[in-house]
Amino acid sequence: MAKGQDTGEEGVGGGRSFYITTPIYYVNDVPHIGHAYTTLSCDVLARFKRLDGFDVHFLTGTDEHGQKVEKASQVAGMTPQDFVDKVSANFRDLVAAMNASNDDFIRTTETRHTEACQALWRELAARGEIYLGSYSGWYAVRDEAYYAESELIDGPAGKKLAPTGAEVEWVEEPSYFFKLSAWQDRLLAYYEANPDFIGPDSRRNEVVSFVKGGLLDLSVSRTSFNWGVPVPDDPAHVMYVWIDALTNYITAAGYPDTDSALYRRFWPADLHMIGKDIIRFHAVYWPAFLMAAGLEPPKRVYAHGWWTNEGQKISKSLGNIIDPYDLFARYGLDQTRYFLMREVPFGNDGDFSPRAIANRINGDLANDLGNLAQRVLSMIGKNCGAAVPQRGPFSPEDEALLSSAHGLLDAARPLFDSQAFHKALETIWAVIGDANRYVDAQAPWTLRKTDPDRMATVLYALAETIRHLAILIQPFMPESCAKLLDQLAVEEGARGFADLGANGALRPGTALPKPEGVFPRYVEEEGGEG
């Protein structure tokens, strides 16, 4: 991990802190599965860290300035401010619909953000890192990015396109420049000293290669439009949208008040979670801006992959946009959350299909976890007076199962810290498999007749294993796990990782409610695609 990431930093007031961010989402479009995926991954990690005793600050929000937004507002027949007010609300609504646990939602049109951007600009200018010149070159409005001639590709009818496929236009205008070229060697030295600063390795290699290829000074202001943060003392210029957007991460940490408790506790951020298309901005420009201003860079930037829809690239023109609200309504919120974190090795591209999510729901959730909990709790309800069983001495088989459950947290921690969410779930599901095999081997339905005391011990070991599983799966499926823990009569204040192990074990004789299934099978509606 990057420095400090493995243990968390001691902050004001003691205890370990953890600051995690999504990218702020650009408001020229409606939220889609990509936005949901990034937010979900941050929510899972934020919830894990809170359960593990960290003081977490989880930030998301919207990026509301720039030429692309200005043009989109004109197309909509609205003022830019009215347009961003409307569209930003869509992203805030999605966060709530996903049951995300963010602590802050930032908008770049807020006063606190304008003040932070202008403070950062003044600091860079005072340190001689910004100078006035003129820019001429290729610019892609869709990407809000500048491209060198060598990066362009040939499009239809000989038209030049950005490497992303976006149309480019030749721009000539006065511009302030950031001395990015002066930071090439220092960035490479930083990457060398902090090998886990960029993840996964494929993105790290991409960034290192880009920087080694040579950095040019970066145009950081525009005069051809005015929907942006004004450059201090030169209002004819607005800040380039990326210096504006990236600054949100320190705005929400209290900048420019670097002596504030918030800033001292949470900056530098532990993790910026982003999509792979914006890795250059976060792993090259952003640390350079910060170091140039005398500020610490974030500890880690992780770029995940993209989703396709049944093998096809997702695009409006193909009409195959995946609406997260449709997934929640059709499959269930927690089921969707589980699928998105389990189906694809995190960091890789992944493919969505109705068959794949149905298989995960019916296999992993209904058959494996759901069936385990339902049959164990039902047997306890029928045969143990609807209370936690009175256990006898544990056999080696009982000890083996409980040991695997007790070892899950230590196995999961490094996987979460490296953003290997799929591996964490695989590790947890291995214990679910152990528990299901244990049920079959111990056959408590037979013990009920031949050895009721042994049956009670077996059911206790299983109930205690389910308690561990439910606590550890909470970051992925908080509502479903709350239902499982309710059925085990685990008090709400006893559901953190500190309650794992023997000290937090279920108390024999505790009354349990009537068990109810938590993970129903998914049955495709008639005429639908299964």
pLDDT in tens, 258-275: 999 999 999 999 999 999
Considering 305, 336, 364, which residue would you say is the last residue of a domain?
305
Cβ 350 vs Cβ 324: under 8 Å? no
Beta-bridge mates of residue 198: 301
Angle subtended by helix axes 452-473 and 371-383, to nearest 10? 140
Same domain, 253 and 171: yes
In a domain, 249, yes or no: yes
In a domain, 523, yes or no: no
Which region among 313-322, 466-475, 488-497 has the lowest average model confidence (pLDDT)?
Answer: 313-322
Same domain, 266 and 414: no
CATH number of the domain bearing residue 220: 3.40.50.620
Confidence check: pLDDT of 527 > 50: no
Could you report the per-residue pLDDT of 434-455, keeping only the tens digit for each? Answer: 999 999 999 999 999 999 999 9
Q: Token pair 């949901």 is at which residue?
A: 36
Same domain, 208 and 134: yes
Q: How confident is the model at residue 428 (pLDDT cuts 50, 70, 90)?
A: very high
Q: Report how many domains make up the chain.
A: 2
Considering 305, 331, 363, which residue would you say is the last residue of a domain?
305
Question: For residue 396, with 0-12 CB atoms within 10 Å meaning exposed, 13-18 middle and 19 or more buried, which class applies?
Answer: exposed
d(CA 393, CA 403) in angstroms, rounded, equals 15
Rounded to an integer, the average pLDDT of 108-128 is 98
Same domain, 374 and 238: no
Same domain, 56 and 195: yes
In a domain, 113, yes or no: yes
Residue of 480, 282, 340 whose CA lies nearest to 38? 340
pLDDT of residue 350: 87
pLDDT of residue 308: 82
Beta-bridge mates of residue 131: 177
Considering 278, 305, 332, which residue would you say is the last residue of a domain?
305
Confidence check: pLDDT of 95 > 80: yes
Could you report the per-residue pLDDT of 8-26, keeping only the tens digit for each? Answer: 444 333 479 999 999 999 9
pLDDT of residue 419: 97
In a domain, 512, yes or no: no
In a domain, 319, yes or no: no
Beta-bridge mates of residue 234: 231
pLDDT of residue 87: 93
Task: Determine the number of helices (DSSP H) and then strands (DSSP E) in the chain.
Answer: 21, 20
Residue 248 parent element (H or E): helix 248-251
Q: Report the mean per-residue pLDDT for the chain.
A: 93
CATH number of the domain bearing residue 384: 1.10.730.10
pLDDT of residue 476: 98
Confidence check: pLDDT of 250 > 70: yes
CA dihedral 342, 347, 351, 357 (to 10 degrees): 10
Could you report the per-residue pLDDT of 355-373, keeping only the tens digit for each? Answer: 999 999 999 999 999 999 9
In a domain, 218, yes or no: yes
Rounded to an integer, the average pLDDT of 329-335 is 97
In a domain, 416, yes or no: yes
pLDDT of residue 10: 44
Confidence check: pLDDT of 31 > 70: yes
Same domain, 148 and 207: yes
Same domain, 39 and 178: yes
Q: Which domain holds residue 359?
A: 354-504
Q: Token pair 């202001």 is at which residue?
A: 221
pLDDT of residue 528: 46
Same domain, 118 and 219: yes
Same domain, 363 and 297: no
Same domain, 479 and 392: yes
Q: How confident is the model at residue 6 (pLDDT cuts 50, 70, 90)?
A: very low
Rounded to an integer, the average pLDDT of 456-484 is 98
- CA 450 to chain centroid, in Å, comes to 50
In a domain, 318, yes or no: no
Residue of 25, 59, 46 whose CA lies nearest to 262? 59
pLDDT of residue 121: 98
Same domain, 287 and 373: no
Confidence check: pLDDT of 119 > 80: yes
pLDDT of residue 11: 37
Same domain, 22 and 151: yes
Which region among 78-82, 150-154, 410-414 has the lowest average model confidence (pLDDT)?
Answer: 150-154
